[in-house]
Structures are given as structure tokens and as C-alpha cells.
Amino acid sequence: MEYMTMEDEIVRWFSESILKIVEKLKSGQELTNTEAYIALTYIYSQSFEKKIEELERSLRDEIRKTREELLTNDDKIKKEVIENDDKIKRELIEYVDKNKKEIIEYVDKSKKELLENDEKVKKEIIEYVNGVKKELLENDERIKKELLENDERIKKEIIEYVDKSKKELLENDERIKKELLENDKRMKSELEAKIDEVKGEVAALRSDLGVLTESFFVSNFLDSIKEGGEKVVSVYRHYETSIGEVDALVETDKAVYVIEVKFRAEIKEVDDLLTKVKEVEKEYQGKRIIPVLAGPKISKAVRGYAKGLNVIIYQ
């Protein structure tokens, strides 16, 4: 879509309005006030454009005429300037020749005065420089003396400040050292109490975990022997023997199972189980006693050792 400016829109509207007015005039219709105003504006603009064109033609003629006059006048001025330059040149040469002697005398006089003045200025400058040099040397000695005195004063003040700071730091170090020792002692006591508390919690957690593990494996073992067709006569948890406690003792119509549940079994615990089995055999004479080692983590070495001693492994 072609974009139209506001000016283009106005021109288009004005042209369309003029065409409509012409059609109405041809058909003998009466114009509205607005249409009459537009028609008069159009007639005036046409007349104004003609006057502008006439003015432009008149200006072009005047410019051309003026240009021709300027070109003619330029040649005349150029000739007069050349003639005037030659005249001025001649007058300057005559003036220089006439006043040459006076100029030379004036230059020589000025040169002499300048030389005399240079000597005078040179002398004054030397005297001034020597005076300034003397003042600077005297000032340097004074400043040097003041700086030495100030250095001694500053040195003394620094030594006093360092000694004072050193004393304060030593006193502060002793205080901090004492506070740190007291704090270390307090923290050590708190940590020991906390460790004992954690140990108690860990022991309780281990006990709970042991109870859960023991209950889980004993229950599962009971289910397995029931499925094997044996009738469970009695179950003893934490069965006491003369040499220690057994986690569980299960008596069936066919045998007595001595069960030890260990979270992480070792070879030593196989030997302990067999020792307890010998004590159980004394109480259950005439019955078959079967040792059982149960737990979630029983290594290959422990399993091999236990099987070699006819200990059942239950995982």
C-alpha cells in the first residue's frame, strides 16, 4: 500500500472537490457556501500562480541584465586597480630611496640602545639570580635543620607509640590466650557431653536395629520351617545358657534350632554359636540340635567356615 503524506491527502481532496463543483455547475445545480469558497480559492490560486510566473520572468531578466553590467564593470575596476598598484609601487620606491639614510641611522641607534640595555638587563639578572641563590642556600640550611629536629621528634614519638602498642598487644595476647583456653575447655566439655549423647543414641539405634533385624530373621525362619512340614512346639527369644544368651531357640517336633542373628557376621561368632549349642545339648538330650547363623551380611568366607561345621546359614 502506497503511503500518502498529509499534503498529498489535501491536494487529492481539493482536486476531487473542484471536479465535483465543475459537475454541479455544468448541471445547473446551486453551490453550497463551502463549495463556493473552494471555487473562489481555486480561481484566486490560478491568478496568483500566473502573477508568480510573471514575477519570476521579470526577476530572471533583471538578474541577466545585472550580471552583464557587473561583467562590464569588473573589467573597468580591474584596469583601475592595476593602474593604482603601479602608482603606489612607484611612490613607495621613491619614499624608501628618500628616507633610506634616516632609516639606517634609526636602525643603528636602536641597535646601540638595545645592546646597552641588554648589558644592563644581563647585569640585573645576574644580581637577582645571585640574591635568590643566596636566599635559597640560607633557606635550605634552615629547612634542613628543621627537618632534622622534626625527624628526631617523630622518631621519638614512633618509638614511644611502638613500645606502648607492644605492651598493649602483649597484654591483649595474654587476655586472648586466657579466653581461648577457657573457651577450649568449655567447648571440650560440651563436645564430650555431646559425644556421650550421640554414643547413647547410636547404641539405642543399634539396639533397635538389632531387635528389628533379629525379629525379621527369626519370623522368616519360623515360616520356612513351617513350610518344610515341621510343627513348632515352642519359641524362646533371648534364651539364657550358662555361657551367654542365644537370640532365639525354636523347638519343633523334629529338632531344636539354636539361632544367632548378626547384622555383620564374623568367623568368631560361628565358634561362639557352637559353644552355646553344646550347652543347649545338655538341656535337650535325645533331641537333634541344629545351629543357625542368620543375618543380612554374611561373607563368603564365613559361609564356607559355617557350612564346614554343619551350621545352617539363613540370609
| 235 neighbors 248 (Cβ within 8 angstroms) | yes
Burial of 42 (0-12, 13-18, 19+ CB in 10 A): middle
Return the CA Rg of the chain. Answer: 66
Whole-angstrom Cα distance, residue 159 to residue 27? 121
pLDDT score at 203: 47
Which residue type is seen at 79?
Answer: K
Burial of 276 (0-12, 13-18, 19+ CB in 10 A): buried
User: What is the CATH code of the structural domain delimited by 231-314?
Assistant: 3.40.1350.10
Whole-angstrom Cα distance, residue 26 to residue 302? 127
Whole-angstrom Cα distance, residue 121 to residue 115? 10
List the one residue out of 291, 194, 304 whose CA is nearest residue 249: 291
Whole-angstrom Cα distance, residue 167 to residue 172? 8
Cβ neighbours for 218, distance < 8 A, ≥ 6 positions apart: 235, 237, 247, 248, 250, 259, 261, 294
Extract the C-alpha cell encoding 161.
607509640
pLDDT score at 245: 94
Cβ neighbours for 143, distance < 8 A, ≥ 6 positions apart: none
Whole-angstrom Cα distance, residue 149 to residue 53? 99
| 0.85 exceeded by pTM | no
- Residue 190 main-chain phi, psi, to 5 deg: -65, -40
pLDDT score at 198: 45
| 268 neighbors 233 (Cβ within 8 angstroms) | no
pLDDT score at 277: 96
pLDDT score at 106: 72
Whole-angstrom Cα distance, residue 292 to residue 119? 132
Whole-angstrom Cα distance, residue 83 to residue 304? 141
Measure Cα distances from 228 to 82, 236, 259 in Å: 147, 20, 17
Would you give per-residue pLDDT tens digits along the chain (315 residues)?
A: 556 677 788 878 888 888 898 898 888 888 888 888 888 888 777 765 676 677 678 778 877 887 888 778 777 867 885 787 688 678 867 865 787 787 578 757 867 886 788 688 688 868 876 886 898 788 878 978 997 898 799 789 968 987 897 898 788 878 978 987 888 788 787 767 665 664 555 344 444 455 778 889 999 999 999 999 999 999 999 999 999 999 999 999 999 999 999 988 999 999 999 999 999 999 998 899 999 999 998 999 999 999 999 999 998
Count how many Cα atoms sit within 13 Å of the Cα of residue 270 in the half-sphere of its side chain: 19
Enumerate the domain spans of the chain: 41-77, 231-314
